[in-house]
Structure 1
Amino acid sequence: MDKIILCLTGGTTGGHFFPLLSVAKEFKRIMEEKRWDYEIFYLGAEPFDKELMERNNIQVITIPAGKIRRYFDIRNIFDIFKFPFGFLKALWILYVKMPNVIFSKGGYGTLEVVLAGWLLRIPILIHESDAIAGRSNKIAGIFATRVAVSFEKAKKYFNKRKTALVGHPIDPDFDNINPDEEIYKKFNLEKDKFIILVLGGSQGAMKINDIVIYSLDKLLMFSQVIHQLGKHMFKEYKQIADGFILEKVPVRRKYYHPVDFIEHKDLIKLLKISDLVISRAGAGTIFEIAASGAPSILIPLRENVAGRHQIENAYEYAHTGAAIVIEEPNFTPDILSSVVRKILNDKATLEFMRKSALEFAKKEAAKIIAE
């Protein structure tokens, strides 16, 4: 059999990048099981983590790509002219390599590849992560052979005859990464006390950090808190948290565990042992929380910051009973601590949320797409 070639595009942000890697891992596994010769390459704007792609034996080829911003910016004018150059380079690369399929996650730098692939009659599969389709995916959907979506609500943006609900690709090794004694030691956790995991993302989330810190005098009375503060905010927020705890509940200091960043394998383990997760509402985060079966409180980004994407993601997930949504205008220390206590003190609620999360999870998404 001739070599099977997969082209990936759309990995400029973490939310787009890691699903591409998950699908690539599944594709490799399938090819190796069948003992078929294969090749994977990335074509598009500069990926989120080029080195990680290359370590996974994925060739990276970049093209000029313009980003059209939602606000006035002089760069929008210059970026428009990057499109034709990016399109021509993509057309040439695809003509030379002639992949069997293009898998696009959307975002800037993908339309050039999708349009070039359509002209060359290469099958195109796109994936929409959010409940509201992004601008590039709405356009790409016209040219796509098949469309996969994470949320039911996203179906309405695409031709229903070629659209399927598959979920969001997560790490294919998710079920094989299990908690061990080491994870409790690493984060100084006690097994007989509630564990709350707070995720602000690798860069941190100021609003979440502020509210959680000023809730610690209540939260630490009945739980231990692992708080991902973000690399760029760690020192500042750790000082604030230490000062607040010292003033309010100094004897509970050992139950607060601030970290700047959590490695992905550790994150999966922590999700699996946490009694409650407090997080933003990005699609990737929601589907990993669901796969772990952890109850959650979601604080979506404000509409004026990121549109309604996270808001719609959060409410569609919460509709299953797996999560509680607190929008930022209502997100205060008193409300947070009250909701947390109410959830953790009700075993029936905890069990229902766990069950609902696992029922929502679609762990086979990466495999379905790769196949």
Structure 2
Amino acid sequence: MFIEERKLKNGTLSYRYGESYKDPLTGKNKKVYATSSKNTKAIHKEMQRILSDKIETILNGANHKQQMTIGELVDEFANSERGIRKVTTQRNIDKYAVIIKKWFNGDIIATQLKAIHVQRIINQKLTELSWSYVKAAYGYLRQSFKYGKRMGYISNIDLFDDVVLRKPSKTPEQLQASRNKFLTKTELDTLLSLVDKKNHRVATLFKFLSLTGLRIGELRALRTQDYNAKEAYIDINATLSQKNERLTPKNEYSARKVSLGEPARKILVEWLQLNHTRKQIVQNYNNPDNYIFVTDGGQPYDIQFLNKLLKSIPFHKHVSTHTFRHTHISLLAEANIPLKTIMERVGHNEPKTTLSTYTHVTDEMKEQEQQFLDTLSV
């Protein structure tokens, strides 16, 4: 033990007692301290006890971290940036933390986890669940172990280099379903006509989605002040969760200005006028944020309600609110709009996302191709 004497501003003396120890995680020498206003043999003995207790606590904590279970690691990672992460991100992490502890025995010591164990679990789950679901859960497991390495709990996470996620081959039915994620212009007109017979306002909402390519959360978050009538664009600066929480956009590329054509502008004007009338005559109208696409009571339309309405329509394709976003970009591709322009309009930063998900060749484009080939001569 060593003692440092210090003179305080009021002229009195203070004594800082210290002791050195080796950090078992880093191998480096560190120190702990305790302070007293006295320097006697009795105090020396007490300070030695206090410092020894501090070192023991630290070493026990370090040993505990070295013996950390998968469950403890996953939970600590989930809580490590709570309050800093986006709300939706934190919810996903909390959800997958539960899943990981269920799939992998949460009592297994993290440092004892082997690639073969992970591989067997992943392979089993791929036979039971969707590729994207398993991939997401596995991704959070890897993130938890990367966090453990950063914190010094785990020295090596090379086991993940030996784990392979093989994407199952799609069946003919699945391939066809992927091509049916969008509607042709004719199909869109037919569907909107059927919806209009059930609910005119919702039909115009769906039409606006197909004219702009917005995500449903972005549309629900759209406010009166986000519409620039003079320059004919809408400012996409938020998304609305299913619990009606106003959150930041999905990513930095999702914050954007979307230009509007005349049909889309007419729909906005119709809704703005309707909301003005509602505010005057509906007794319990409550829309303090000035959201545009709202019910008679002023609340943003519920996503489940919208999808349930779509499900009730007799139609030959499975359709959801996201189908209109797919449709918008497919129509842009069909019109030969440049890929970069499409990406900026819908808030994508990766070309492969747009290409692999949206720009399927529609039947109309195939017909145009055939007509061209019939007239092609060399």
Q: Same fold (TM over 0.5)?
A: no
By percentage of residues, which structure has more strand? Answer: 1
TM-score by length of 1: 0.29
By percentage of residues, which structure has more helix? Answer: 2
The higher relative CO (CA closer than 8 Å, separation ≥ 6) is in 1
TM-score by length of 2: 0.29
Larger radius of gyration: 2
